[in-house]
């Protein structure tokens, strides 16, 4: 009897920051696939609060106890990275119908361009409203996001907030 090939999936995102919703998708995806690669990318259309290496390190820390998940950074097209990893599929989370509409277009394009399938996992209802953009905005304004992100993320958001504090026009160097 021959040993079957491991089924690997890639879960791509900027994860700026990683949310409890992302973790929900990762943990559930890890049950479906033999191996899951969390692919931390950069989106040229977004200004990141946390740098790519910092985001990857946070995710490694948070997922240290999940044996079949590894974290990699990448640049360029997700489909190219997925092919390089030997992925059977790209894993994507769906929160609502707007996500579904957008993700279906991307999935169809990825299949047409690169022949790679996309597997959708619907997020738990308790995470359906969360997004990294919303969390960043709340954190930058001093709000409490502790219910939406893993505890390891909080110090990084607080440090990012200090680094991006709005200029109030006062010169305090005197």
Q: What is the pLDDT of residues 66-79, one digit of tens each?
A: 999 999 999 999 99
What is the C-alpha to C-alpha distance for residues 7 and 119, in angstroms, rounded to an integer? 12
Q: Mind listing the pLDDT tens digit for each residue in 10-27?
A: 999 999 999 999 999 999
Q: What is the CATH number of the domain that holds 38?
A: 3.40.50.620
**173 assigned to active site:** no
146 assigned to some structural domain = no
The active-site residue out of 22, 55, 92, 136 is: 22
**125 assigned to active site:** no
Q: What's the pLDDT band for 124 if we cut at 50, 70, 90?
A: confident
Name the residue with tokens 């996309």. 118
135 assigned to some structural domain = no
**75 assigned to active site:** no
The active-site residue out of 55, 132, 136, 156 is: 132
- Reference 50, options 160, 170, 163; nearest CA is 160
174 assigned to some structural domain = no
161 assigned to some structural domain = no
**7 assigned to active site:** no
Query: Burial level of 37, CB count in 10 A (0-12/13-18/19+)?
Result: buried
The active-site residue out of 95, 127, 136, 156 is: 95
145 assigned to some structural domain = no
Identify the top-confidence range among 42-46, 47-51, 118-122, 133-137.
118-122
Average pLDDT of every residue of the chain? 89
What is the C-alpha to C-alpha distance for residues 22 and 15, in angstroms, rounded to an integer? 8
Task: List the domain range (segments joined by +) for residue 66.
Answer: 8-129
156 assigned to some structural domain = no
Contact 116, 79 (CB under 8 A): yes
DSSP secondary structure string for all residues of the chain: -PPPPP-EEEEEE--TT--HHHHHHHHHHHHHSSEEEEEE---TTS--SS-HHHHHHHHHHHTTT-TTEEEEE--S-HHHHHHHHT-SEEEEEE-SHHHHHHHHHHHHHHHHHH--EEEEEEPPGGGTT--HHHHHHHHHTT---TTTS-GGGHHHHHHHHHHTPPP-S--TT-
How many domains are there within the chain? 1
CA 60 to chain CA centroid, nearest Å: 12
Contact 37, 11 (CB under 8 A): yes
Query: What integer pLDDT is reported at residue 170 of this predicted model?
Result: 34
- Name the pTM for this structure: 0.87
Q: What's the pLDDT band for 163 if we cut at 50, 70, 90?
A: low
The active-site residue out of 46, 75, 105, 146 is: 46
Q: Mind listing the pLDDT tens digit for each residue in 99-112?
A: 999 999 999 999 99
163 assigned to some structural domain = no
């Amino acid at each position: 009897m021959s040993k079957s090939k491991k089924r690997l999936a890639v879960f791509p995102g900027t994860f700026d920051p990683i949310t409890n919703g992302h973790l929900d998708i990762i943990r559930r995806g890890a049950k479906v696939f033999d191996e899951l690669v969390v692919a931390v990318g950069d989106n040229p259309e977004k200004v990141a609060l946390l740098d790519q290496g910092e985001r990857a390190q946070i995710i490694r820390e948070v997922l240290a106890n999940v044996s079949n998940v590894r974290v990699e950074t990448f640049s360029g097209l997700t489909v190219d990275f997925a092919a390089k990893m030997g992925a059977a599929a790209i894993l994507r989370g769906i929160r609502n119908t707007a996500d579904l509409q957008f993700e279906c277009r991307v999935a169809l394009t990825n299949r047409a361009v690169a022949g790679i399938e996309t597997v959708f996992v619907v997020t738990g209802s308790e995470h359906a409203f969360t997004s990294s953009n919303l969390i960043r905005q709340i954190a930058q304004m001093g709000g409490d996001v502790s219910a939406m992100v893993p505890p390891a993320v909080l110090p990084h958001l607080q440090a990012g907030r200090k680094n991006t504090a709005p200029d109030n026009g006062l010169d305090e160097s005197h």
